[in-house]
Protein backbone atom coordinates (compact mmCIF):
# COMPACT_ATOMS: atom_id res chain seq x y z
CA UNK A 1 0.00 0.00 0.00
CA UNK A 2 1.41 3.36 -0.97
CA UNK A 3 1.13 6.19 1.45
CA UNK A 4 -0.46 9.24 -0.03
CA UNK A 5 -0.23 12.85 0.97
CA UNK A 6 -1.20 13.72 4.51
CA UNK A 7 -4.59 15.25 5.14
CA UNK A 8 -6.00 16.96 8.16
CA UNK A 9 -9.20 15.79 9.75
CA UNK A 10 -11.24 17.47 12.48
CA UNK A 11 -11.69 14.90 15.24
CA UNK A 12 -14.92 16.53 16.25
CA UNK A 13 -16.89 16.85 13.00
CA UNK A 14 -14.72 14.86 10.57
CA UNK A 15 -14.28 17.80 8.19
CA UNK A 16 -11.18 17.38 6.00
CA UNK A 17 -8.84 20.30 5.30
CA UNK A 18 -5.64 20.41 3.29
CA UNK A 19 -3.74 22.18 6.05
CA UNK A 20 -3.63 22.25 9.77
CA UNK A 21 -5.44 24.99 11.64
CA UNK A 22 -5.99 25.70 15.31
CA UNK A 23 -9.70 26.04 14.79
CA UNK A 24 -11.94 23.92 12.60
CA UNK A 25 -13.80 26.12 10.12
CA UNK A 26 -16.65 23.65 9.81
CA UNK A 27 -17.61 23.18 13.44
CA UNK A 28 -15.66 25.89 15.20
CA UNK A 29 -13.90 23.41 17.51
CA UNK A 30 -10.46 24.32 18.82
CA UNK A 31 -7.44 22.05 18.56
CA UNK A 32 -9.50 19.31 17.03
CA UNK A 33 -7.62 19.00 13.72
CA UNK A 34 -5.22 16.10 13.47
CA UNK A 35 -3.06 14.83 10.63
CA UNK A 36 -4.12 11.52 9.16
CA UNK A 37 -2.44 9.53 6.43
CA UNK A 38 -4.54 9.41 3.28
CA UNK A 39 -4.47 6.73 0.65
CA UNK A 40 -3.68 8.13 -2.81
CA UNK A 41 -5.73 6.98 -5.79
CA UNK A 42 -8.36 4.27 -5.95
CA UNK A 43 -5.91 1.40 -6.33
CA UNK A 44 -4.02 2.30 -3.20
CA UNK A 45 -6.98 1.68 -0.97
CA UNK A 46 -7.14 -2.01 -1.78
CA UNK A 47 -6.94 -4.09 1.38
CA UNK A 48 -4.83 -7.07 2.10
CA UNK A 49 -6.76 -10.34 1.98
CA UNK A 50 -8.88 -10.82 5.09
CA UNK A 51 -10.64 -13.63 6.83
CA UNK A 52 -14.00 -14.71 5.45
CA UNK A 53 -16.97 -13.84 7.63
CA UNK A 54 -19.66 -16.37 8.43
CA UNK A 55 -22.96 -14.55 7.93
CA UNK A 56 -25.75 -15.83 10.16
CA UNK A 57 -29.52 -15.34 10.44
CA UNK A 58 -31.31 -13.03 12.84
CA UNK A 59 -32.75 -15.80 14.96
CA UNK A 60 -30.50 -17.57 17.35
CA UNK A 61 -29.89 -18.22 20.99
CA UNK A 62 -28.88 -14.83 22.38
CA UNK A 63 -28.02 -15.05 26.03
CA UNK A 64 -28.87 -11.86 27.89
CA UNK A 65 -25.65 -10.04 28.79
CA UNK A 66 -24.51 -10.68 32.35
CA UNK A 67 -25.39 -7.76 34.59
CA UNK A 68 -24.33 -6.63 38.00
CA UNK A 69 -27.14 -4.83 39.78
CA UNK A 70 -25.76 -2.20 42.14
CA UNK A 71 -28.73 -2.45 44.47
CA UNK A 72 -29.46 1.24 43.96
CA UNK A 73 -32.79 0.70 42.25
CA UNK A 74 -33.03 4.16 40.70
CA UNK A 75 -29.59 3.68 39.12
CA UNK A 76 -30.17 0.10 38.02
CA UNK A 77 -33.45 0.96 36.34
CA UNK A 78 -31.84 3.63 34.17
CA UNK A 79 -29.08 1.18 33.26
CA UNK A 80 -31.72 -1.32 32.18
CA UNK A 81 -31.23 -3.68 35.13
CA UNK A 82 -27.64 -3.12 36.23
CA UNK A 83 -24.15 -2.71 34.85
CA UNK A 84 -23.40 -4.94 31.88
CA UNK A 85 -20.09 -6.78 31.96
CA UNK A 86 -17.72 -5.55 29.27
CA UNK A 87 -19.74 -2.44 28.54
CA UNK A 88 -18.96 1.23 28.99
CA UNK A 89 -21.28 3.76 30.60
CA UNK A 90 -20.74 7.49 30.40
CA UNK A 91 -22.13 9.53 33.27
CA UNK A 92 -22.37 13.17 32.26
CA UNK A 93 -23.43 16.20 34.21
CA UNK A 94 -22.50 19.63 35.47
CA UNK A 95 -19.62 19.88 37.90
CA UNK A 96 -20.85 19.51 41.47
CA UNK A 97 -24.12 17.81 40.57
CA UNK A 98 -23.18 14.54 42.32
CA UNK A 99 -21.58 12.25 39.74
CA UNK A 100 -18.70 11.20 41.98
CA UNK A 101 -21.05 10.70 44.89
CA UNK A 102 -23.38 8.47 42.86
CA UNK A 103 -20.59 6.32 41.47
CA UNK A 104 -18.85 6.00 44.81
CA UNK A 105 -22.12 4.85 46.37
CA UNK A 106 -22.74 2.38 43.55
CA UNK A 107 -19.15 1.12 43.69
CA UNK A 108 -19.33 0.65 47.46
CA UNK A 109 -22.57 -1.31 47.13
CA UNK A 110 -21.05 -3.65 44.58
CA UNK A 111 -17.92 -3.99 46.71
CA UNK A 112 -19.98 -4.92 49.72
CA UNK A 113 -21.78 -7.48 47.59
CA UNK A 114 -18.45 -9.21 47.10
CA UNK A 115 -17.50 -7.88 43.65
CA UNK A 116 -14.07 -6.48 42.89
CA UNK A 117 -14.48 -2.75 42.26
CA UNK A 118 -11.79 -0.25 41.31
CA UNK A 119 -12.20 3.50 41.59
CA UNK A 120 -9.65 5.66 39.79
CA UNK A 121 -9.86 9.31 40.65
CA UNK A 122 -8.06 11.78 38.43
CA UNK A 123 -9.65 14.81 40.03
CA UNK A 124 -9.45 14.23 43.73
CA UNK A 125 -6.70 12.96 45.98
CA UNK A 126 -7.04 9.70 47.89
CA UNK A 127 -7.66 11.77 51.01
CA UNK A 128 -10.52 13.65 49.41
CA UNK A 129 -12.21 10.48 48.23
CA UNK A 130 -11.73 8.91 51.65
CA UNK A 131 -13.27 11.95 53.26
CA UNK A 132 -16.32 11.63 51.07
CA UNK A 133 -16.53 7.91 51.80
CA UNK A 134 -16.44 8.64 55.53
CA UNK A 135 -19.16 11.21 55.14
CA UNK A 136 -21.27 8.68 53.26
CA UNK A 137 -20.64 5.95 55.85
CA UNK A 138 -18.92 3.89 53.19
CA UNK A 139 -15.37 3.91 54.53
CA UNK A 140 -15.50 0.20 55.33
CA UNK A 141 -16.71 -0.83 51.87
CA UNK A 142 -14.11 -2.99 50.14
CA UNK A 143 -12.93 -1.31 46.96
CA UNK A 144 -9.62 -0.50 45.35
CA UNK A 145 -8.95 3.21 45.21
CA UNK A 146 -6.24 4.97 43.25
CA UNK A 147 -5.51 8.55 42.31
CA UNK A 148 -4.03 8.53 38.81
CA UNK A 149 -4.26 10.18 35.43
CA UNK A 150 -1.65 8.33 33.41
CA UNK A 151 -3.43 5.83 31.26
CA UNK A 152 -0.34 3.70 30.82
CA UNK A 153 -0.26 3.09 34.59
CA UNK A 154 -4.01 2.56 34.80
CA UNK A 155 -4.03 0.08 31.91
CA UNK A 156 -1.14 -1.87 33.40
CA UNK A 157 -2.92 -2.02 36.75
CA UNK A 158 -6.17 -3.17 35.18
CA UNK A 159 -4.35 -5.94 33.31
CA UNK A 160 -3.37 -7.27 36.71
CA UNK A 161 -6.98 -7.28 37.98
CA UNK A 162 -8.71 -10.20 36.29
CA UNK A 163 -11.50 -10.22 38.87
CA UNK A 164 -12.57 -6.60 38.40
CA UNK A 165 -16.34 -6.29 37.87
CA UNK A 166 -16.52 -2.50 37.78
CA UNK A 167 -13.94 0.17 37.05
CA UNK A 168 -14.85 3.81 37.67
CA UNK A 169 -12.82 6.52 35.93
CA UNK A 170 -13.50 9.92 37.48
CA UNK A 171 -13.21 11.76 35.15
CA UNK A 172 -12.33 10.98 31.53
CA UNK A 173 -11.27 14.60 31.06
CA UNK A 174 -8.37 14.14 33.46
CA UNK A 175 -7.00 11.05 31.74
CA UNK A 176 -3.77 11.40 29.87
CA UNK A 177 -1.76 9.33 27.41
CA UNK A 178 1.86 10.24 26.80
CA UNK A 179 1.71 9.19 23.14
CA UNK A 180 -0.61 12.09 22.39
CA UNK A 181 0.71 15.59 22.53
CA UNK A 182 -2.34 17.56 23.59
CA UNK A 183 -3.34 18.23 27.19
CA UNK A 184 -5.81 16.17 29.25
CA UNK A 185 -9.36 17.13 28.40
CA UNK A 186 -8.58 17.83 24.74
CA UNK A 187 -10.49 15.96 22.08
CA UNK A 188 -7.50 13.84 21.17
CA UNK A 189 -6.78 12.78 24.75
CA UNK A 190 -10.39 12.14 25.68
CA UNK A 191 -10.89 10.07 22.58
CA UNK A 192 -7.70 8.07 22.84
CA UNK A 193 -7.92 7.37 26.56
CA UNK A 194 -11.60 6.44 26.37
CA UNK A 195 -10.91 4.17 23.41
CA UNK A 196 -8.17 2.36 25.31
CA UNK A 197 -10.30 1.97 28.45
CA UNK A 198 -13.27 0.70 26.48
CA UNK A 199 -11.04 -1.79 24.66
CA UNK A 200 -9.77 -3.04 28.01
CA UNK A 201 -13.30 -3.31 29.41
CA UNK A 202 -14.37 -5.44 26.45
CA UNK A 203 -11.29 -7.61 26.58
CA UNK A 204 -11.37 -8.09 30.35
CA UNK A 205 -15.12 -8.17 30.81
CA UNK A 206 -15.47 -5.48 33.45
CA UNK A 207 -18.10 -2.77 33.40
CA UNK A 208 -16.55 0.64 32.84
CA UNK A 209 -18.11 3.82 34.23
CA UNK A 210 -16.68 7.04 32.84
CA UNK A 211 -17.47 10.37 34.43
CA UNK A 212 -17.72 13.18 31.88
CA UNK A 213 -18.15 16.82 32.71
CA UNK A 214 -20.51 18.81 30.61
CA UNK A 215 -19.45 22.05 28.97
CA UNK A 216 -21.47 25.21 29.22
CA UNK A 217 -23.46 24.51 26.06
CA UNK A 218 -24.51 21.12 27.40
CA UNK A 219 -22.21 18.84 25.45
CA UNK A 220 -19.90 16.40 27.15
CA UNK A 221 -16.46 17.84 26.56
CA UNK A 222 -14.65 15.87 23.92
CA UNK A 223 -17.41 16.81 21.53
CA UNK A 224 -19.91 14.04 21.06
CA UNK A 225 -17.04 11.68 20.36
CA UNK A 226 -17.57 9.94 23.66
CA UNK A 227 -21.27 9.40 23.22
CA UNK A 228 -20.64 7.31 20.13
CA UNK A 229 -17.97 5.22 21.76
CA UNK A 230 -19.79 4.07 24.86
CA UNK A 231 -22.71 1.66 25.21
CA UNK A 232 -24.82 3.86 27.46
CA UNK A 233 -24.98 7.57 28.15
CA UNK A 234 -26.59 8.80 31.34
CA UNK A 235 -27.01 12.41 32.32
CA UNK A 236 -27.24 13.51 35.90
CA UNK A 237 -29.30 16.66 36.13
CA UNK A 238 -30.71 18.89 38.74
CA UNK A 239 -31.01 22.39 39.96
CA UNK A 240 -28.42 23.48 42.47
CA UNK A 241 -31.12 25.30 44.43
CA UNK A 242 -33.06 22.07 44.90
CA UNK A 243 -32.00 18.86 46.49
CA UNK A 244 -33.43 16.42 43.98
CA UNK A 245 -31.43 15.02 41.07
CA UNK A 246 -32.60 13.19 37.99
CA UNK A 247 -30.59 10.51 36.28
CA UNK A 248 -31.66 10.29 32.66
CA UNK A 249 -30.70 7.63 30.14
CA UNK A 250 -30.22 9.12 26.66
CA UNK A 251 -28.57 6.16 24.99
CA UNK A 252 -28.50 2.53 26.02
CA UNK A 253 -27.45 -0.40 23.91
CA UNK A 254 -28.63 -2.78 26.62
CA UNK A 255 -31.92 -1.28 27.72
CA UNK A 256 -34.58 1.33 27.15
CA UNK A 257 -33.60 4.97 26.92
CA UNK A 258 -35.68 7.73 28.40
CA UNK A 259 -35.80 6.05 31.76
CA UNK A 260 -35.20 8.24 34.76
CA UNK A 261 -34.01 7.70 38.29
CA UNK A 262 -34.80 10.24 40.96
CA UNK A 263 -32.48 11.00 43.86
CA UNK A 264 -32.34 13.44 46.68
CA UNK A 265 -28.99 14.93 47.73
CA UNK A 266 -28.85 14.67 51.51
CA UNK A 267 -26.15 15.03 54.15
CA UNK A 268 -25.57 11.32 53.75
CA UNK A 269 -25.21 11.40 49.99
CA UNK A 270 -27.77 10.51 47.38
CA UNK A 271 -30.97 8.94 48.64
CA UNK A 272 -33.33 7.19 46.26
CA UNK A 273 -36.72 8.75 45.75
CA UNK A 274 -39.13 5.94 45.11
CA UNK A 275 -42.12 8.25 44.87
CA UNK A 276 -41.09 11.41 43.00
CA UNK A 277 -44.65 12.71 42.66
CA UNK A 278 -44.97 12.92 46.43
CA UNK A 279 -41.70 14.85 46.55
CA UNK A 280 -42.73 17.34 43.89
CA UNK A 281 -46.15 17.88 45.39
CA UNK A 282 -44.97 18.02 48.99
CA UNK A 283 -45.13 21.77 49.33
CA UNK A 284 -48.32 22.33 47.43
CA UNK A 285 -50.94 24.45 49.09
CA UNK A 286 -54.59 23.97 48.28
CA UNK A 287 -56.95 26.83 47.69
CA UNK A 288 -54.57 29.17 45.92
CA UNK A 289 -55.45 30.40 42.47
CA UNK A 290 -52.95 29.91 39.67
CA UNK A 291 -51.97 26.36 40.54
CA UNK A 292 -52.74 23.13 38.68
CA UNK A 293 -51.29 19.64 38.94
CA UNK A 294 -49.86 18.18 35.76
CA UNK A 295 -49.84 14.41 35.35
CA UNK A 296 -46.62 14.11 33.39
CA UNK A 297 -44.33 11.39 32.17
CA UNK A 298 -40.59 11.24 32.54
CA UNK A 299 -39.47 8.43 30.35
CA UNK A 300 -41.87 5.63 31.10
CA UNK A 301 -42.44 6.97 34.56
CA UNK A 302 -45.45 9.03 35.55
CA UNK A 303 -44.59 12.08 37.63
CA UNK A 304 -47.05 14.57 39.05
CA UNK A 305 -45.89 18.16 39.37
CA UNK A 306 -47.48 21.44 40.26
CA UNK A 307 -47.66 24.17 37.63
CA UNK A 308 -47.87 27.67 39.08
CA UNK A 309 -48.96 30.81 37.26
CA UNK A 310 -49.00 34.36 38.52
CA UNK A 311 -50.44 37.35 36.73
CA UNK A 312 -49.77 40.91 37.65
CA UNK A 313 -51.25 43.95 36.01
CA UNK A 314 -48.96 45.84 33.68
CA UNK A 315 -51.12 48.30 31.81
CA UNK A 316 -48.24 50.39 30.52
CA UNK A 317 -45.21 48.91 28.86
CA UNK A 318 -44.42 45.61 27.20
CA UNK A 319 -45.82 42.78 29.33
CA UNK A 320 -43.31 40.41 30.83
CA UNK A 321 -43.38 36.65 30.29
CA UNK A 322 -41.15 34.70 32.59
CA UNK A 323 -40.95 30.91 32.57
CA UNK A 324 -39.04 28.53 34.80
CA UNK A 325 -39.03 24.83 33.99
CA UNK A 326 -40.96 25.00 30.73
CA UNK A 327 -40.52 26.38 27.22
CA UNK A 328 -41.09 30.10 26.79
CA UNK A 329 -42.20 29.52 23.22
CA UNK A 330 -44.96 27.16 24.30
CA UNK A 331 -46.20 29.61 26.87
CA UNK A 332 -46.39 32.30 24.20
CA UNK A 333 -48.37 29.93 21.98
CA UNK A 334 -50.79 29.05 24.77
CA UNK A 335 -51.35 32.72 25.60
CA UNK A 336 -52.10 33.38 21.94
CA UNK A 337 -54.55 30.47 21.77
CA UNK A 338 -56.26 31.59 24.98
CA UNK A 339 -56.56 35.06 23.52
CA UNK A 340 -57.68 34.20 19.98
CA UNK A 341 -59.86 31.16 20.67
CA UNK A 342 -61.15 31.71 24.19
CA UNK A 343 -61.20 35.47 24.52
CA UNK A 344 -58.89 35.44 27.52
CA UNK A 345 -56.79 38.54 27.05
CA UNK A 346 -53.66 38.76 29.12
CA UNK A 347 -51.91 41.41 27.04
CA UNK A 348 -51.99 43.88 29.92
CA UNK A 349 -50.61 41.41 32.48
CA UNK A 350 -47.16 40.19 33.31
CA UNK A 351 -47.21 36.39 33.26
CA UNK A 352 -44.96 34.30 35.48
CA UNK A 353 -44.93 30.55 35.09
CA UNK A 354 -43.09 28.13 37.32
CA UNK A 355 -42.82 24.36 37.57
CA UNK A 356 -42.65 23.85 41.31
CA UNK A 357 -39.75 21.86 42.74
CA UNK A 358 -37.31 22.82 39.99
CA UNK A 359 -38.25 20.09 37.52
CA UNK A 360 -37.88 20.87 33.84
CA UNK A 361 -40.76 19.70 31.66
CA UNK A 362 -40.58 19.33 27.91
CA UNK A 363 -43.81 17.47 27.18
CA UNK A 364 -46.52 19.21 25.13
CA UNK A 365 -48.92 17.26 27.34
CA UNK A 366 -48.33 19.94 29.97
CA UNK A 367 -50.27 22.48 27.85
CA UNK A 368 -53.58 21.78 29.52
CA UNK A 369 -52.18 22.05 33.04
CA UNK A 370 -50.43 25.30 32.17
CA UNK A 371 -53.63 26.63 30.64
CA UNK A 372 -55.57 25.57 33.75
CA UNK A 373 -53.10 27.42 35.96
CA UNK A 374 -53.30 30.53 33.78
CA UNK A 375 -57.09 30.48 33.64
CA UNK A 376 -57.27 29.92 37.38
CA UNK A 377 -54.98 32.87 37.97
CA UNK A 378 -56.98 35.07 35.62
CA UNK A 379 -60.28 34.16 37.27
CA UNK A 380 -58.67 34.26 40.69
CA UNK A 381 -60.32 30.94 41.49
CA UNK A 382 -58.36 27.88 42.64
CA UNK A 383 -58.55 24.76 40.52
CA UNK A 384 -59.99 21.70 42.19
CA UNK A 385 -57.07 20.55 44.39
CA UNK A 386 -58.06 16.92 43.83
CA UNK A 387 -57.75 17.11 40.05
CA UNK A 388 -54.87 16.49 37.67
CA UNK A 389 -54.55 17.84 34.13
CA UNK A 390 -52.91 16.62 30.97
CA UNK A 391 -53.42 17.19 27.24
CA UNK A 392 -51.83 18.97 24.34
CA UNK A 393 -53.41 22.17 23.06
CA UNK A 394 -53.54 22.80 19.30
CA UNK A 395 -53.58 26.18 17.60
CA UNK A 396 -57.32 26.18 17.14
CA UNK A 397 -57.75 25.52 20.84
CA UNK A 398 -58.55 21.83 20.43
CA UNK A 399 -57.29 19.47 23.12
CA UNK A 400 -55.23 16.69 21.61
CA UNK A 401 -54.52 13.18 22.82
CA UNK A 402 -51.23 12.43 24.52
CA UNK A 403 -49.36 9.20 25.07
CA UNK A 404 -49.84 6.92 28.06
CA UNK A 405 -53.01 8.39 29.51
CA UNK A 406 -53.53 5.26 31.59
CA UNK A 407 -50.18 5.47 33.33
CA UNK A 408 -50.85 9.11 34.20
CA UNK A 409 -54.29 8.32 35.57
CA UNK A 410 -52.98 5.44 37.63
CA UNK A 411 -50.35 7.64 39.22
CA UNK A 412 -52.97 10.29 40.01
CA UNK A 413 -55.16 7.73 41.68
CA UNK A 414 -52.23 6.32 43.61
CA UNK A 415 -51.53 9.75 45.06
CA UNK A 416 -55.11 10.25 46.14
CA UNK A 417 -56.43 12.48 43.37
CA UNK A 418 -60.15 12.20 42.70
CA UNK A 419 -60.49 13.44 39.14
CA UNK A 420 -58.61 14.13 35.95
CA UNK A 421 -59.14 16.67 33.21
CA UNK A 422 -57.98 15.16 29.91
CA UNK A 423 -58.55 15.19 26.15
CA UNK A 424 -61.92 13.94 24.97
CA UNK A 425 -61.62 10.61 23.26
CA UNK A 426 -62.54 10.81 19.63
CA UNK A 427 -64.78 8.10 18.21
CA UNK A 428 -62.39 6.78 15.57
CA UNK A 429 -62.06 3.34 17.08
CA UNK A 430 -60.16 4.46 20.15
CA UNK A 431 -60.01 1.57 22.54
CA UNK A 432 -61.67 2.27 25.86
CA UNK A 433 -59.49 3.90 28.46
CA UNK A 434 -58.59 1.56 31.30
CA UNK A 435 -58.88 4.25 33.95
CA UNK A 436 -58.90 3.53 37.65
CA UNK A 437 -62.49 3.38 38.85
CA UNK A 438 -62.02 5.77 41.73
CA UNK A 439 -61.04 8.54 39.35
CA UNK A 440 -63.69 10.79 37.79
CA UNK A 441 -62.76 11.60 34.20
CA UNK A 442 -63.50 15.05 32.97
CA UNK A 443 -62.92 14.96 29.23
CA UNK A 444 -62.80 18.20 27.28
CA UNK A 445 -62.50 18.84 23.57
CA UNK A 446 -61.66 22.52 23.47
CA UNK A 447 -59.74 24.94 25.63
CA UNK A 448 -62.79 27.16 25.95
CA UNK A 449 -64.44 24.43 28.07
CA UNK A 450 -61.77 25.09 30.65
CA UNK A 451 -62.25 28.84 30.51
CA UNK A 452 -66.04 28.67 30.79
CA UNK A 453 -65.81 26.50 33.88
CA UNK A 454 -63.40 28.81 35.65
CA UNK A 455 -66.03 31.53 35.67
CA UNK A 456 -65.71 35.22 34.90
CA UNK A 457 -62.22 36.45 34.29
CA UNK A 458 -60.83 39.32 36.24
CA UNK A 459 -59.87 42.33 34.18
CA UNK A 460 -61.04 40.47 31.02
P1 LIG B 1 -19.90 15.51 43.63
O2 LIG B 1 -20.29 14.08 43.66
O3 LIG B 1 -18.52 15.83 44.02
O4 LIG B 1 -20.20 16.15 42.21
P5 LIG B 1 -19.51 15.91 40.79
O6 LIG B 1 -18.67 14.70 40.90
O7 LIG B 1 -20.66 15.77 39.84
O8 LIG B 1 -18.72 17.12 40.49
O9 LIG B 1 -20.96 16.26 44.54
C10 LIG B 1 -20.63 17.46 45.04
C11 LIG B 1 -21.76 18.15 45.75
O12 LIG B 1 -22.61 17.30 46.46
C13 LIG B 1 -21.13 19.09 46.72
O14 LIG B 1 -21.56 20.38 46.39
C15 LIG B 1 -21.62 18.66 48.07
C16 LIG B 1 -22.77 17.78 47.78
N17 LIG B 1 -22.84 16.65 48.71
C18 LIG B 1 -23.88 16.57 49.63
O19 LIG B 1 -24.73 17.45 49.71
N20 LIG B 1 -23.95 15.49 50.48
C21 LIG B 1 -23.03 14.51 50.45
O22 LIG B 1 -23.14 13.54 51.23
C23 LIG B 1 -21.97 14.59 49.49
C24 LIG B 1 -20.90 13.53 49.42
C25 LIG B 1 -21.91 15.67 48.64
MG1 LIG C 1 -16.58 14.64 40.85
Instruction: Specify which residues 150 forms β-bridges with.
Output: 176
Which residue has a Cα nearest atom 8 of ligand 1? Answer: 96
- Omega into 22 within 30° of 0, i.e. cis? no
> What is the chain's length?
460
State if residue 212 touches ligand 1 by the CB under 6 angstroms criterion: no
Q: CA neighbours within 13 Å on the CB side: how many for 278?
A: 10
The DSSP line for 298-356 is ETTEEEEEEEEEEEEE--SSPPPEEEESS-HHHHHHHHHHHHHHH----TTEEEEEEEG
Question: For the chain, what is the radius of gyration of the CA atoms?
Answer: 27
* Rounded (5°) CA angle 228-229-231: 90
Predicted pLDDT at 415: 87
Q: Identify which of 265, 266, 267, 270 to mutate to test ligand 1's pocket (most ligand atoms within 8 A of the CB).
A: 265
Counting atoms of ligand 1 from 1, which one is nearest the CA of 93?
7
Predicted pLDDT at 62: 74
State if residue 98 touches ligand 1 by the CB under 6 angstroms criterion: yes
Which residue has a Cα nearest atom 9 of ligand 1? Answer: 98
State if residue 328 touches ligand 1 by the CB under 6 angstroms criterion: no
Predicted pLDDT at 14: 75
Q: Identify which of 90, 92, 98 to mutate to test ligand 1's pocket (most ligand atoms within 8 A of the CB).
A: 98
State if residue 357 touches ligand 1 by the CB under 6 angstroms criterion: no
| Interval between CA 334 and ligand 1 midpoint (Å) | 38
Predicted pLDDT at 89: 96
Q: Is 163 exposed, middle or buried (0-12, 13-18, 19+ CB in 10 A)?
A: exposed
State if residue 245 touches ligand 1 by the CB under 6 angstroms criterion: no
State if residue 309 touches ligand 1 by the CB under 6 angstroms criterion: no
| Interval between CA 75 and ligand 2 midpoint (Å) | 17
| Interval between CA 128 and ligand 2 midpoint (Å) | 11
Instruction: Mention every residue, 6+ apart, whose C-beta is less than 8 A from residue 450.
Output: 342, 368, 371, 372, 375, 421, 444
State if residue 93 touches ligand 1 by the CB under 6 angstroms criterion: yes
Predicted pLDDT at 182: 81
Find the ligand nearest to 169 CA. Answer: 2
| Interval between CA 115 and ligand 2 midpoint (Å) | 23
Q: Where are the beta strands (DSSP E) in 185-300?
A: 207-213, 232-238, 244-252, 260-266, 269-272, 291-298
pLDDT under 70: residue ranges of the chain: 1-5, 37-47, 216-224, 426-432, 457-460
Which residue has a Cα nearest atom 1 of ligand 1? Answer: 98
Counting atoms of ligand 1 from 1, which one is nearest the CA of 268?
22
Q: In which element (H, E) is residue 4 found?
A: strand 3-10
Q: Is 316 exposed, middle or buried (0-12, 13-18, 19+ CB in 10 A)?
A: exposed
Predicted pLDDT at 427: 55
Counting atoms of ligand 1 from 1, which one is nearest the CA of 95?
8
State if residue 269 touches ligand 1 by the CB under 6 angstroms criterion: yes
Predicted pLDDT at 164: 95
Which residue has a Cα nearest atom 10 of ligand 1? Answer: 96
State if residue 135 touches ligand 1 by the CB under 6 angstroms criterion: yes
Counting atoms of ligand 1 from 1, which one is nearest the CA of 171?
6
Counting atoms of ligand 1 from 1, which one is nearest the CA of 211?
6
Predicted pLDDT at 429: 54
Amino acid sequence: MTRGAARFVCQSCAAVTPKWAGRCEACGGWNSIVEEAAAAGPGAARLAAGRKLAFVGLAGAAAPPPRAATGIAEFDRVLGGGLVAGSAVLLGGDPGIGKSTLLLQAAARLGRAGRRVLYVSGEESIEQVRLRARRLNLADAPLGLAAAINLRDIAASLEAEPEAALVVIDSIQTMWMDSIESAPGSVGQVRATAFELIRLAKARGFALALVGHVTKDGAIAGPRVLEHMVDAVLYFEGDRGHQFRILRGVKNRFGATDEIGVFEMTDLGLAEVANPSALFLAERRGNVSGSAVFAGLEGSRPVLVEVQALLSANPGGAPRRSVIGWEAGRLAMLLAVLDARCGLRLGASDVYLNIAGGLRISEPAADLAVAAALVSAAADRPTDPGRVYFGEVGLSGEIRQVAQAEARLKEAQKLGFASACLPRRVARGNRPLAAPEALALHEIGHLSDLVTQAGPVRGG
